[in-house]
Amino acid sequence: MIVFPAIDILDNQCVRLYKGDPTQKTVYGDPLEKAKIFEQAGAQYLHIVDLNAAFDSDDKTNFETIKKITSYVNIPVQLGGGIRSLDDISYRIEVLGAERVILGTIAYSSPYILKEALKRFSDKIVVGMDAKDGFLAIKGWQEITQKDVLRLGSELKDIGVKTVLFTDISRDGVLSGINIPKTIQIQNQCGLDVIASGGAKDMNDIEELSKANIYGVILGKSLYENKIDLKKAIERSKQC
């Protein structure tokens, strides 16, 4: 299982938001320094979210910072936030240096863009699957749809999606524990590689996900609040 340390960037600072609310943020310093620390701890991959772009797709505030990270750190970067077009995808891969990009609402509002992205970039595309009570949430978690995530997962698999990032939004940033049963259900029933996100709280979460052969897990607040040691989490993920 791949352990992805998360770096959320707002105004060129590493931050964590409480339930995605920009007014409830905690600042954790320089994103590049965090990336270097995570690399030294043995991270295989970084998960970066450009929050400025997520809130305003025309906001390029963090682009130089992201480019510095991909240039100075020798591990691949998975990048999300503010991706609204095929040009946005290609820019993040070809110019900013991301190895993979995460498509959110655009994957559902513009099926054509998702299909074209899969044709052009194949496994460099990860689809974000944010859910509350088992139903898809879109538009920055502001709208809960009637789309069941298991049915959605099967549909994504059918059109060529290989990897999804599943977040239980009721648990994100509050250290209440990942929704492990639903994560396992999506991977096993839909045949997708699932990256689990939203509230990892301790090493028990890491062990359970790893034993279930889940593809990956995002660690955010649990790292920044010293609830989980990254090096130990990576070691544990390989042992199970």
Phi, psi at residue 188, to the nearest 5°?
A: -75, -40
Active site residue: 8, 88, 168, 172, which one? 8
Alpha helices in 7-138 (DSSP H): 31-40, 51-55, 63-72, 86-94, 106-109, 111-121
58 is catalytic: no
8 is catalytic: yes
Encoded tokens for 221? 């607040």
Beta-ladder partners of 166: 129, 196
Active site residue: 130, 168, 172, 205, which one? 130
Encoded tokens for 190? 């839909």
Residue 60 to residue 52: CA distance in whole angstroms = 7
Owner of token pair 């689809």: 127
Residues 6+ apart with CB under 8 A from 51: 8, 9, 10, 15, 17, 22, 62, 81
Question: Cα-atom radius of gyration of the chain, to the nearest Å?
Answer: 16
Catalytic residues: 8, 130
